[in-house]
Structure 1
Amino acid sequence: MKFELETAIPILERTPTVLRALLQDLPEKWIRENEGEDTWSPFDVVGHLIHGEKTDWMIRTALILEKGSNPTFEPFDRFAQFENSKGKTVESLLDEFEGLRKDNLTELKSRNLTSVDYGRTGIHPEFGEVTLAQLLSAWVVHDLGHIAQISRTMAKQYKNEVGPWTKYLTILNYTPKE
């Protein structure tokens, strides 16, 4: 599917609602458990998404649109949530994420992007030249990937409890690379 903002926005708009439906009012064990060493809990993922809302997607979009030819992006700290989320509850993180996402999508829609804008480029510190369409597509896929990650992490909490059904519950057989 070719990138179109009109089809991307509904996914980006739904992510806070999906996360709230999955995580709100759950016992802490569901929220704080991970898949093992060097993996993230659902709590960590929400913190990571918040950091992205503050420092990644719209910051880079603005750079591409406002700074002229091939501005260079600041590196993104993929682990900032561990410090930034200290002392917070998952409910406060969900509220913060929802507010940030709403504001970012309002700003994105207000830019009235054109096909010319989607072809504009910036310089990613690892990937080199990327287009605005690639950045915005990555935002959608990033959300979906983390929703899947949260679901997988939660499912794995019962990996040893499902007995022989492990054979058919493929979500339990995935090994994270993070």
Structure 2
Amino acid sequence: MNFELDKSIEILRNTPLVLKTMLDGLSEEWIKNNEGENTWSPYDILGHLIVGEQTDWIVRVKIILSDSENKFFEPFDRFAQFNQDQTKPISDLIIEFKSLREKSLKELTSLHITQKDFDRIGIHPEFGKVTLKQLISTWAVHDLGHIAQISRVMAKQYTEEVGPWYNYLGILKK
């Protein structure tokens, strides 16, 4: 499939609903458990997505589209969620993420991005030159990756409990 802004927006718009459906109302064990040392729980992943909405995606889109000669992106703190309040209920995080995402998508559509804009450049601190098309594509794939990660983390909570079916459950082997 080739990049289309509307197709990316479909994923970005649905992510909050997917996360609400997956996580809202679950016990702490499902929400706060991870895969072991230096791994993230579904709670941590949702916190990471919130920080991204606040400091990364739209900020970088605007840098690329700006008339400024400074196209450098600030480094993104992939672990900033651990500096946030860790006692908020998951339902509050879901609501916060949904609100932030709605705001981001409203801003994105208000920019009236044209086909020519997709080739405009920003400067990533690690990768160097990146295009707007690459940034927006990454935003959608980033969401999908974290949805898959949440599923994997949750599935692995029952690794031992599935017994002999383990060999048929590829999600447990990744």
Q: Specify the TM-score bucket, using the shorter chain as the normaliser.
A: over 0.9
C-alpha contact 1:47 1:85 (8 A) present in aligned 2: no
- TM-superposed deviation, 1:69: 4.4
Instruction: Summarize deviations over 1:25-52 as a string: whole Å, max 9, x none.
Output: 0000000000011000000000000000
Letter in 2 for 1:18: V
SS at match of 1:147: helix
- For 2:4, the equivalent position in structure 1 comes to 4
- TM-superposed deviation, 1:111: 1.0
- For 2:25, the equivalent position in structure 1 comes to 25
Segments of structure 1 that go 5 or more residues without pairing to the other structure are none
Deviates more, 1:1-10 or 1:157-166: 1-10
Distance 1:42 1:6 in 2: 27
TM-score (norm 2): 0.98
1:88 maps onto 2:75 in alignment: no
Segments of structure 2 that go 5 or more residues without pairing to the other structure are none
Distance 1:173 1:112 in 2: 44
TM-score (norm 1): 0.95
Letter in 1 for 2:37: E
Distance 1:60 1:116 in 2: 17
- TM-superposed deviation, 1:115: 1.1
Instruction: Summarize deviations over 1:120-146 as a string: whole Å, max 9, x none.
Output: 000000011000000000000000000
Distance 2:126 2:160 in 1: 39
Distance 2:85 2:167 in 1: 36
What's the RMSD between the two structures over aligned residues?
0.9
SS at match of 2:38: coil
- For 1:131, the equivalent position in structure 2 comes to 131
- For 2:64, the equivalent position in structure 1 comes to 64
C-alpha contact 1:70 1:129 (8 A) present in aligned 2: no
Distance 2:109 2:77 in 1: 26
Alignment of 1:23-172 (within 5 A): 23-69=23-69, 71-172=71-172
Q: 1:67 to 1:36 in 2, by over 3 A?
A: farther
SS at match of 2:150: helix
Letter in 1 for 2:5: L
